[in-house]
Chains A and B, each alone.
Chain A
Amino acid sequence: MTSAFIQAFLPELVLVCGALGLFVVALGGSQGRAARKTALVVAAAAILACVLALGARADLFSGAYRVDAFSQLLKLAFACGFAAIVLLSGDLPDIRDEIKPEYFLFVTLSATGLVMLVSCIDVIALVVALELASFPLYLLVPMRRERGGQRSQMESAIKYVMFGVAANGIMLFGLSYLFGLTGTTHLPQMAASLRMQAGSPLAIAGLAMAFCGLFYKLAVFPFHFWTPDVYQGASNETAGFIASLPKLGAVAVLVRFVSLAPPDNRAIILLLSVLAAASMFYGNLVALMQRDLKRMLGFSGIAHAGYAMVGLVALDLAGYTAAIYYSLGYVLMILACFVVACRVSPDGTNVAVGDLAGLHRRSPLLAITLFTGIFALAGLPPFVGFMGKLGLLAAALARGHLWLVVVAVVNSAIAIYYYLQVIRQAVFGEAAVERPPIRLSASTRLLCVVLIAGIVAFGAFPETIIGAIRQSLTFIPSSAPYR
C-alpha cells in the first residue's frame, strides 16, 4: 500500500518537499542564488518523479484524487514547464533582492497546485487545488520592483485578485447547484447523475457557472479583463508563468467539466462557441493596436483561449484531444516568446515591440526563438501551432460547427498582422540606435534550444503526443471512435 501510494503520489511529494526546502532557504535572508539552485533541483526531481510515476494508476484519499494516464501525462508537462519557468526566471532582475527566495517558493507552490489540480476528481479537492495554484500567483504579481511614481504592479495585482476571487465565487456557486442536483461532489458520480437529467436548466446553469472559474484562468472573454494589465504590471518572468502553465491546467480541468455535459446539449455548445468566437475576435482585434510586447501577448492569449475552446465545443474525444494538444503546444510557444521578453530587457522593464528592432544582430538565438514562437502562435507549419489548429478545426467541423471554424480561420488571418509586426522588428528591422549585444547564459541558451526543438518536433511529429493524449482521456463517456 505505502509503496504504491508513494509511487502514485511521488510528483506531489517531491514538489511539496521542495516547497518546504525553499521555505527553509527563504528563512535565511536574501539567498536568491541558493533559492534558484534549489528550485532547479526541485524541478529536475519533479520531472524525474513524474517520469517514474507515469505508469501509476490509483484512487487516493477516499476516491477524491485519481492518478490516471491523463493526470500523469499532464503532471509531466507541468514539471517540465516548471523547470522551464525556473530557467526563464534567471536572476530575476525586477524582483527585490530580499524576496527572491520567496519568489521561487511561490512558483513552486503554484506548480504544486497545478500538478494536484489535474488529479482531483472531487469538486472540493479541485477547488482547493485551484486555489493553491492561484494564490501564489496573486502574490507574485506585486513582488515586482517599484518604479518611479508608478505602482502599476499593485494595481494589476489588485485586479488579478479581485477578478480571481469573484470568478471563484461564481464557480463555487455553480458547483453548489450541481451538488444540489446530484447530491455528490465526486465528478464521475456527478457525470452519471447529470446524464439522467440531461437538459435540466438548473444543470446547465450550474455547469455554466462552474466554468467561470476556469474561464477566468484561461482568460476567456468576458473573464479576460485582468489579462493585459497583469501581463503588463507583473514582472516579465511572472507574466511568463501566468501566461503558460495555468492555461494548460485550466483546459485540462475544463475538459473534465465539459465532459459532464451531454454531447448534444445545444445550450452548452452555444455558450462555449459564442464565448470562443468573442474571445478570438476581441483578443485579436485589440492586439492589433498594442505597442507593448507583453500586452500584445496578453491579448493574443485571449484569442488563443478562444481557439482552444473551439476544440471543447465539439464535445467529443477528438475535440478534447485537440484542445489539450493545442494547450500543450501553446505553453511551448508562449514560453519561447517570454524568454525573449525577459532577456531583451536586462533590467526587467517592459519591452515595447519597437524595442525588438535589430534583435537578430543583438542575439541571433533569441531572434530565432522569437521567430519560431511567433510563427507557431500564428499557426504556420511545420510548427506545433499549425497541427494544433488543424486538430481543433477538424474536430469542430466534424461536429458541424462550420461558422465557428470560419470565425477561427478569419481570426488567424487577422492575427498574422500583429505577429508580423513583431517579426518585422526582430528579424527585418535595424535599430535606430545601436544597442549592445545580449549575452545569454548557458541555461538560457539551453532553454531556447529546447523550446525551439519542442515547437518543431511537436509540430512535425505529433503522432506520439496526440496518441498519448487520446488514450489518456479514458474518462470521456462513450468514447466515440475517432473520426
Chain B
Amino acid sequence: MFPSAPHTGAPLLSILIFAPLAAAAVAALVKNERALRWWTLAVTTLAAAFSLKLYCGFNPDTAGFQFVERAAWIPSLRIEYILGVDGLSLLLILLTTLLAPLCVLASWTSIKVRIREFMICLLVMESVMVGVFCALDFVLFFVFWEAMLIPMALLIGVWGGQRRIYASVKFFIYTFSGSIFLLVALIALRLRAGSFCIPDLMGRPYEPAFQCWIFAALFLSFAIKVPMIPLHTWLPAAHVEAPTAGSVILASVLLKMGTYGFIRFCLPITPYAAQAFAPAILWLSVAAILYGGLAALGQSDLKKLVAYSSVGHMGFATLGIFVLNTRGMEGAILVMINHGVTTGALFICVGILYERLHSREMGDAAGIGKYMPVFSFFLGAFCLSSLAFPGTNSFIGEFLVLCGGFARSKILVACVIPGVVICAAYMLRMLQRLAWGGTRNPDHAGLRDIGLRETLTLAPLLVFVFWIGFHPAPFLRVMHASVANLLQQAGRLP
C-alpha cells in the first residue's frame, strides 16, 4: 500500500494539522477581540489555500497513500506517527479546511462571549479534524478521534442555546461510549497483526469470527458518529443547541468521520464481516432515509428540520458504501462531500435568520423572502441542492448511490424512492413558507438582507453546489483509484 519511499519535501500534512494548533496557542495570548477574529480568519483561510497544494500535488492514478510521513512516536508500544492521504481523505480534508474560515465568518457577530476561547476551540477543532483524516496509525487516529470530543463538547456546551448543557453532555456520552469499543478493537487488531499501522492491518486473513467481533466494535462507534438509526438521538439535540459554527462543523465534518471510518476500516480490515452485515446495514440505511425524512417533515424548528434531513442524507452515504460497488461507493463519497457543503450552508442560513429573528420557528420566519431577497436566493439554491435537484451537487451523488443500489437490489431502491420524495416535500415546504409565506409579520419590517460578510460566507458553498452539480469530474477523478482499491480489498474473502 505504501509508496516505496515516503514523501520527500515539506511535511505538508503535519503543517496542515499543527499550524492551526500553533495558531490557537498564539490566540490564547491575544486579548483584543477584533484581532482575534481576524487572526483566526487569516489562519483558517491560509490553511484552506495551503490545502489546495495537496490537491495539486495529488496523483489520482494511484491508490496508495500519498504525502506519507512516518516517524517513531512511542516505540515501546509500537505506536508510530504515520500520516498519509488517499482520494477519499483528500476530499474530506479539503472540505474541512474550506469550511473552517466560513465557520469563523458565520460566528463573526453571533458569538459575543468568551470569544478567545471560541476561536481557540475552532482552531483546535480544525487541527484534530484534519488529523483524523490523515492519520494512518490506529492509535494516532484514535487520539485525534477522541480529542475532537473536547472542543466540540465545549462549542456546544458553552456557546449553545437554551438546553446546551444537556445536548453537550448527551453528545459526549454517546460518542465516548461508542469509541471505547473502538479502543478494544484496535488493541485486538494490534495483537493479531503486530502493528498499529492501518495499511498493515488491511488485507490480512483474519478468521471470520474475529472479523465479526472487530466489525461490531468498529461499527458501533462509527454508526453513532454517522449517526445511523437507532443511534441518532444525540444528533437533533446537539445540532439544535450548538452555535452555528458548531452545527456546521458537526454536520459537515463530524458526521463524515463515521462514514469515513466505515470506508477506511470496516471494508478493508474486516471484508468478510462487512459483506455479512451489509444487508442489515443497507436496510438500516433505508430506514434512516425514510425516518429522517418523515421526522424532518414534522418539524417546525428550522434547525431540527435540517438536523433530521442530515439523518436521511447520511442514510444515502451508508447505503452507497455498503452496496459495495463502484457506483455506490463513489456516490457515497460524493454524498458525504455534498452533504458537507449543502447542510453546512443550510445551517449557516438558519444561523443568519436566528441572528435577526432570535427564533428558529418556521412560523416566525414565514414571509421573510419579501425583505431578504438575496438571502432567499441562497436559501432556495441550497434547498434545491438538498432535495437533489438535477444540476446541483446532491443530484449527482444520490443518483450514483441509487445506480449502485439498483445493481444490488431493486427492492431496496424502490424503498428509497419515497424518501427522495419526502425530502423534496419538506425542503420545498420550508422554502415556500420562508420565501413566500403569507403572514405579514410586523416584526419583519426592519429586517436587513444579508450583508457582504454573510454573502461571502455562503457564496463559496454555492459555487461548489453548482460546480459539483455540473462538472463533478475533478472530484470523481481523485477518488477513482482509491475506490477501486478499497472495493478490491472489500471483495476479498478469507
The interface-forming segment of B149-157, B370-378, B480-488 is B149-157
Q: What residues of chain A lie closer than 8 Å to B74, measured between beta carbons?
A: 387, 462-463, 466
| Residue A61 is within 8 A (CB to CB) of chain B in the complex | no
Among the interface residues B77, B142, B143, B154, which one has the most CB atoms of the partner chain A within 10 A?
B77
Asked if residues A390 and B173 are in contact (CB atoms below 8 Å), the reply is no
Asked if residues B76 and A463 are in contact (CB atoms below 8 Å), the reply is yes
Asked if residues B143 and A386 are in contact (CB atoms below 8 Å), the reply is yes
- B72 nearest CB neighbor, chain A only: A463
Within 8 A of A (CB), among B151-190: 153-154, 157-158, 164-165, 168-169, 172-173, 176-177, 180-181, 183-184, 187-188, 190
The interface-forming segment of A153-161, A164-172, A271-279, A422-430 is A422-430
Q: What residues of chain A lie closer than 8 Å to B143, measured between beta carbons?
A: 381-382, 386
Asked if residues B77 and A428 are in contact (CB atoms below 8 Å), the reply is no
| Residue A420 is within 8 A (CB to CB) of chain B in the complex | yes
Asked if residues B77 and A386 are in contact (CB atoms below 8 Å), the reply is no
Bound complex: CA of A397 vs CA of B181, how far in Å? 13
Interface residues on A, range: 35 or more
| Residue A483 is within 8 A (CB to CB) of chain B in the complex | yes
In the complex where A409-B181, A463-B75 touch, is A397 in contact with B158 (Cβ < 8 A)?
Answer: no
Give the Cβ gap from B134 to chain A, nearest Cβ, in Å. 16
| Residue A412 is within 8 A (CB to CB) of chain B in the complex | yes
| Residue B73 is within 8 A (CB to CB) of chain A in the complex | yes
- B147 nearest CB neighbor, chain A only: A381
In the complex where A381-B143, A409-B183, A409-B184 touch, is A427 in contact with B77 (Cβ < 8 A)?
Answer: no
What string of 1s and 0s marks CB contacts (under 8 Å) between B181-221 and chain A? 10110011011000000000000000000000000000000
Chain B interface mostly helix, strand, loop or mixed?
A: helix
Asked if residues B173 and A427 are in contact (CB atoms below 8 Å), the reply is no
| Residue A416 is within 8 A (CB to CB) of chain B in the complex | yes
Asked if residues A381 and B142 are in contact (CB atoms below 8 Å), the reply is yes
| Residue A41 is within 8 A (CB to CB) of chain B in the complex | no
| Residue A375 is within 8 A (CB to CB) of chain B in the complex | yes
Give the Cβ gap from B138 to chain A, nearest Cβ, in Å. 11
Asked if residues B173 and A416 are in contact (CB atoms below 8 Å), the reply is yes
| Residue B139 is within 8 A (CB to CB) of chain A in the complex | yes
Asked if residues B139 and A398 are in contact (CB atoms below 8 Å), the reply is no
Asked if residues A397 and B75 are in contact (CB atoms below 8 Å), the reply is no
Chain A interface mostly helix, strand, loop or mixed?
A: helix
| Residue B146 is within 8 A (CB to CB) of chain A in the complex | yes
| Residue A391 is within 8 A (CB to CB) of chain B in the complex | yes
Q: What residues of chain A lie closer than 8 Å to B177, measured between beta carbons?
A: 413, 416
Bound complex: CA of A394 vs CA of B187, how far in Å? 6
What string of 1s and 0s marks CB contacts (under 8 Å) between A85-108 and chain B? 000000000000000000000000
Asked if residues B169 and A424 are in contact (CB atoms below 8 Å), the reply is yes
Q: What residues of chain A lie closer than 8 Å to B139, measured between beta carbons?
A: 390
Asked if residues B165 and A429 are in contact (CB atoms below 8 Å), the reply is yes
Asked if residues A380 and B187 are in contact (CB atoms below 8 Å), the reply is no
Contact among A375, A382, A428, A483 for B164, CB-based, below 8 A: A428
Asked if residues A397 and B147 are in contact (CB atoms below 8 Å), the reply is no
Among the interface residues A393, A394, A406, which one has the most CB atoms of the partner chain B within 10 A?
A394
Give the Cβ gap from A125 to chain B, nearest Cβ, in Å. 32
Asked if residues A380 and B191 are in contact (CB atoms below 8 Å), the reply is no
Asked if residues B146 and A397 are in contact (CB atoms below 8 Å), the reply is no
- B168 nearest CB neighbor, chain A only: A428
| Residue A69 is within 8 A (CB to CB) of chain B in the complex | no
Q: What residues of chain B lie closer than 8 Å to A467, measured between beta carbons?
A: 75-76
What string of 1s and 0s marks CB contacts (under 8 Å) between A312-324 and chain B? 0000000001000
Asked if residues B169 and A409 are in contact (CB atoms below 8 Å), the reply is no
Q: What residues of chain B lie closer than 8 Å to A416, measured between beta carbons?
A: 172-173, 176-177
Give the Cβ gap from A316 to chain B, nearest Cβ, in Å. 13
Q: What residues of chain B lie closer than 8 Å to A391, measured between beta carbons?
A: 77
Asked if residues B176 and A405 are in contact (CB atoms below 8 Å), the reply is no
Within 8 A of B (CB), among A166-213: none
Asked if residues B147 and A428 are in contact (CB atoms below 8 Å), the reply is no
What string of 1s and 0s marks CB contacts (under 8 Å) between B380-410 and chain A? 0000000000000000000000000000000
What string of 1s and 0s marks CB contacts (under 8 Å) between B73-101 and chain A? 11111000000000000000000000000
Give the Cβ gap from B457 to chain A, nearest Cβ, in Å. 27
Q: What residues of chain A lie closer than 8 Å to B191, measured between beta carbons?
A: 394, 397-398, 483
Give the Cβ gap from A406 to chain B, nearest Cβ, in Å. 7
Asked if residues B183 and A420 are in contact (CB atoms below 8 Å), the reply is no
Asked if residues B165 and A428 are in contact (CB atoms below 8 Å), the reply is yes
Asked if residues A409 and B146 are in contact (CB atoms below 8 Å), the reply is no
| Residue A470 is within 8 A (CB to CB) of chain B in the complex | yes
Give the Cβ gap from A103 to chain B, nearest Cβ, in Å. 37
In the complex where A390-B139, A398-B191, A427-B157 touch, is A466 in contact with B76 (Cβ < 8 A)?
Answer: yes
Give the Cβ gap from A457 to chain B, nearest Cβ, in Å. 13
Within 8 A of B (CB), among A389-447: 389-391, 393-394, 397-398, 405-406, 409-410, 412-413, 416-417, 420, 423-424, 427-429
Q: What residues of chain B lie closer than 8 Å to A463, measured between beta carbons?
A: 72-76
- B143 nearest CB neighbor, chain A only: A381
Asked if residues B184 and A375 are in contact (CB atoms below 8 Å), the reply is no
Asked if residues B76 and A386 are in contact (CB atoms below 8 Å), the reply is no
Among the interface residues A390, A398, A406, A482, which one has the most CB atoms of the partner chain B within 10 A?
A390
Contact among A382, A405, A423, A429 for B184, CB-based, below 8 A: A405
In the complex where A390-B187, A394-B77, A409-B180 touch, is A424 in contact with B146 (Cβ < 8 A)?
Answer: no
In the complex where A393-B184, A420-B169, A429-B165 touch, is A413 in contact with B176 (Cβ < 8 A)?
Answer: yes
Give the Cβ gap from A325 to chain B, nearest Cβ, in Å. 10
In the complex where A398-B191, A413-B177 touch, is A406 in contact with B184 (Cβ < 8 A)?
Answer: yes
Q: What residues of chain B lie closer than 8 Å to A389, measured between beta carbons?
A: 183
Bound complex: CA of A410 vs CA of B181, how far in Å? 8
Within 8 A of A (CB), among B97-142: 139, 142
Q: What residues of chain B lie closer than 8 Å to A397, measured between beta carbons?
A: 184, 187-188, 191
Among the interface residues B76, B147, B168, B184, which one has the most CB atoms of the partner chain A within 10 A?
B76
Asked if residues B158 and A428 are in contact (CB atoms below 8 Å), the reply is yes
Give the Cβ gap from A224 to chain B, nearest Cβ, in Å. 24
Known: A381-B147, A428-B168. 17 other contacts (CB 8 A): A380-B147, A382-B143, A390-B183, A391-B77, A394-B191, A397-B191, A398-B191, A405-B187, A409-B181, A409-B183, A410-B180, A413-B173, A416-B173, A427-B154, A429-B165, A462-B74, A463-B74
25 A–B contacts from the bound complex (CB under 8 Å): A380-B146, A380-B176, A381-B146, A390-B139, A393-B183, A393-B187, A394-B77, A397-B184, A397-B187, A397-B191, A405-B184, A409-B183, A413-B173, A416-B172, A417-B169, A420-B173, A424-B168, A424-B169, A428-B157, A428-B165, A428-B168, A429-B165, A462-B74, A463-B74, A482-B76
Which residues of A come within 8 Å of B, CB atoms?
321, 375, 378, 380-382, 386-387, 389-391, 393-394, 397-398, 405-406, 409-410, 412-413, 416-417, 420, 423-424, 427-429, 462-463, 466-467, 470, 482-483
Q: Which 5 A-B pairs have the closest CB atoms?
A: A381-B143, A409-B180, A428-B157, A413-B177, A463-B74
